[in-house]
Amino acid sequence: MHTSSLTQLAVGSTYMSPMWFSFYRRDGQNDSCGFEHVFVGESKGDVIVGFHNWIQFYIEEGRGHVDYLGYVRPRPAGRQVPDTADNEDRLVSVQFSWRGEEKSASTFFVGTSPEFELALYTLIFLCNPQQDKTFLELGPYDMNVVCYRIRSKYGDKVATAYPELLGEDPSNELQAGAL
């Protein structure tokens, strides 16, 4: 690896680590960080917050900790939405309970890598410091990517980041059934 590449990697790591992994106060003293909130999920009293990653959903469902209750499918731009989910769906909003606590909706990509999501959310976090929502066309989907920040004298931190379904389309109604 070239020296300048190593320098860029070190600078990126130095900047990204506090943004995603430094703890901040959500409920108690420094009890939360952006990565945990987005990719793992947290309990805030009897409410689930965060939990915007399909891999975590898959793992927790396999362990019997997630009870899947239904989903909302987005309408891809310019396409009809079939009656059932298929292997091409890459963005869903699901309702579920996790360890006995219910989450009415959590939207996440399906089939993407954590690296892709971390890069996408980081890019939006850095490019739009004054906006909480950024419109994005990604493949067949029109969406907002929501990215809230915690402002700090030590540098801004990710509070949450997730894709958001758009529109008041009738196909965006909660549906029971298997993904």
E-assigned strands of the chain?
42-44, 47-49, 66-72, 91-98, 101-109, 133-138, 141-150, 157-165
Which amino acid is it at 26?
A: R
Determine contact, residues 43/29, Cβ cutoff 8 Å.
Answer: no
- The residues, any chain, with a CB within 8 Å of residue 158's CB and separated by 6 or more, are 19, 20, 34, 35, 37, 38, 121, 125, 147, 148, 149, 150
The question of whether 44 is a catalytic residue gets the answer: no
| Catalytic residue (one of 52, 65, 133, 157) | 52
Q: How far apart are CA 94 and CA 87, in angstroms?
A: 16
The question of whether 2 is a catalytic residue gets the answer: no
Q: How far apart are CA 156 and CA 153, in angstroms?
A: 8
| Catalytic residue (one of 103, 133, 153, 157) | 103
The question of whether 65 is a catalytic residue gets the answer: no
- The CA distances from residue 150 to 26, 33, 36, 37, 175, in Å, are 10, 10, 14, 13, 34
> What amino acid positions are annotated as catalytic residues?
37, 52, 103
